[in-house]
Amino acid sequence: GEDVEQSLFLSVREGDSSVINCTYTDSSSTYLYWYKQEPGAGLQLLTYIFSNMDMKQDQRLTVLLNKKDKHLSLRIADTQTGDSAIYFCAETLLEGFKTIFGAGTRLFVKA
C-alpha cells in the first residue's frame, strides 16, 4: 500500500537539534524527500535521498534512511526560529512516478 506517516507536531528550543521522523510503506520507493512549507507559501524542496544511500548531509540538515525499517528522518542542527514551518516527508513510487506526501510535521521553535 501507499502511505507515508509523520508525527504532527514537534517543539524544540532555539539552538537545540530537531529530529523529524517519517515512515513509509512502499518498498518500491526509490526516492525520498523532505519539503518545507512556511505560512502562506507552497512547499519548498529541502533535500532528497536515493534509497541506495544511508545518509545525506547538507549544512545543518542531515537525512538518515533506514530502508529495512522504511524509516526516514530529518535532523536540523542548531534550530533557529526561522526553521518554524511544516515539514513534509514524501516518496516517489517507481510505478507511475507518483509522489506521495505525508501529512506534515509542524515544527515550533521556542526562543
Partner 1 sequence: DARVTQTPRHKVTEMGQEVTMRCQPILGHNTVFWYRQTMMQGLELLAYFRNRAPLDDSGMPKDRFSAEMPDATLATLKIQPSEPRDSAVYFCASGLPLGGLYGYTFGSGTRLTVV
Residues that bind partner 1 (CB under 8 A): 30-31, 33, 35, 40-45, 48, 88, 92, 96-104
Q: Which is nearer to partner 1, 31 or 108 (CB)?
A: 31
User: Could you tell me the smallest distance in angstroms from the CB atom of residue 33 to partner 1?
Assistant: 5
8-23 as b/e, with b when 16 or more CB fall inside 10 Å?
eebebeeeeebebbbb
User: Could you tell me the smallest distance in angstroms from the CB atom of residue 15 to partner 1?
Assistant: 29
46 vs 58: CA distance, rounded Å: 9
User: Could you tell me the smallest distance in angstroms from the CB atom of residue 42 to partner 1?
Assistant: 3
Q: CB burial class (10 A; 0-12, 13-18, 19+) of residue 47?
A: middle
User: Could you tell me the smallest distance in angstroms from the CB atom of residue 88 to partner 1?
Assistant: 7
Q: Which is nearer to partner 1, 41 or 111 (CB)?
A: 41
Q: Which is nearer to partner 1, 38 or 54 (CB)?
A: 38
